[in-house]
Amino acid sequence: MNLDSNDIEIEEVLYRYFRKELSADEVMDVESWVENSPENKRVFDEAQLMFLDMKGISYYKSLDVQDVDQSWEKFKKENNVRSMHQAPTSSISLLRYAASIVAVIGVAIGVYFYQTQVEEVTIASVTEVRELTLPDGSLISLNEGASIEYQEPFQNNERRVTLTGDAYFEVAKIDNQPFVVEIGDVEVRVLGTKFLIDRPDDNSLSVQVDEGSVLMSYNDLHQIVETGQTLSLDMEEEQLVEIEDEIGLTSFWKTRRLVFNVTSIEDVVNIVNQAYETSIVLEGSTEGCSLTVTFDNESFDNVLEIISSTLNYELIEDGASYTLKGNGCQ
């Protein structure tokens, strides 16, 4: 084995030495050559440094040490790094070339990991409805107490988010990258649409679609929900049921709108209590009392005033409790 012919052959032999690919006799030849002169020792040290940097690339790219060749070749191809075998051998020293390669590697690694770093993003809404825009342009409204998690950038050719609580989605349409919402064991998959997810408790969930369609899945249950439909899931019974929500209670937190059409006063009070999280009590006769009215972004005080004045009920306030007292509507 000749270590004195040219830089390229020296580099090849030393590379194989660090990879432990040489025979025992060849190892002895290398070590003898290193001890031959300070210049040889310097070249050896510089080659070893470069090899360790190449192992560093392998490590950062989550490759095994045995994949150094694959990592280096891939890195060269992606970053247009010229192979050492193409270097002139006359006046360029191994030190200078090794230093330049290490510099290129350092900069490229920084750019590579800056561009491909995955960030876990969590956004929560504590005391009020919160609006946000995802990196793909999708718009999300989070209800009070809701939160959403996702990776930026999105991974595996899909836009996957994890939801806790209630949210309204206006999903930007990207045909080759579906949008997936995880809510516990439930999955809602879409391409581009507008829909609302309501989670009243741990054992139930409903999906209301305003535009487009979604695929709702839970264990072995799979159901497409079309525009204008609201599908309710009972997780304990593992049942999917289509429901009607003409009044708008499910989406009230988002729309602030309730529509009553000849609705009994008992149902009106029950729904208003849920929507505004209040406590209204009925006293006296409710016979024949119903209401046809639309509450559109009305304050709770205005709602109480409209109900009491329309049905000629007496309104009694006691701290956070409210009583509507009437004599019927015959």
Decide: helix, strand or coil at residue 193. coil
Instruction: Decide: 215 and 188 in contact? Cβ < 8 Å.
Output: yes
Q: Using the predicted structure, report yes or no on whether residue 96 has a pLDDT greater than 90.
A: no
pTM over 0.95: no
Distance CA 113, CA 44 (A): 30
Please report the DSSP string for 97-127 in residue order: HHHHHHHHHHHHHHHHHHHH--EEEEEE-SS
d(CA 22, CA 20): 6
Judge whether residue 236 has pLDDT over 80: yes
What strands, in cross-sheet order, belong to the sheet with 194-201? Answer: 130-133, 139-142, 167-170, 194-201, 204-211, 230-234, 239-243
CB atoms within 10 A of CB 269: 20
Integer Cα distance of 300 and 304 in angstroms = 6
Which band of pLDDT confidence, cut at 50, 70 and 90, is reported for residue 82?
very low
**How would residue 30 be classed by pLDDT, with cut points 50, 70 and 90?**
confident
Q: What is the pLDDT of residues 178-227, one digit of tens each?
A: 999 999 999 999 977 999 999 988 899 999 999 999 999 999 899 999 99
Q: Are 245 and 231 in contact (CB under 8 A)?
A: no
The CATH code of domain 256-327 reads: 3.55.50.30
Helix or strand or coil: residue 157?
coil
Helix axes 68-79, 94-116, angle to 10 degrees: 80
- DSSP string computed for 29-94: HHHHHHHH-HHHHHHHHHHHHHHHHHHHHHHHTT--GGGHHHHHHHHHHHHTPPPGGGS-SSS--H
Residue-level pLDDT at 175:
83
| pLDDT score of 42 | 80
pLDDT of residue 25: 84
* Best CATH choice for the domain 119-243 from the list 3.60.10.10, 3.40.50.300, 2.60.120.1440, 2.170.8.10: 2.60.120.1440
**Phi, psi dihedrals of residue 203, rounded to the nearest 5°:** -110, 5
Per-chain mean pLDDT for the chain: 82
Closest by alpha carbon to 68, among 129, 140, 16, 117?
Answer: 16
Statement: residue 71 has pLDDT above 80? no
Please give the DSSP secondary-structure letter assigned to residue 67. Answer: G
Domains of the chain, by residue range, sit at: 7-116, 119-243, 256-327
Pairing of strands 321-327, 230-234: unpaired
* pLDDT number for residue 84: 37
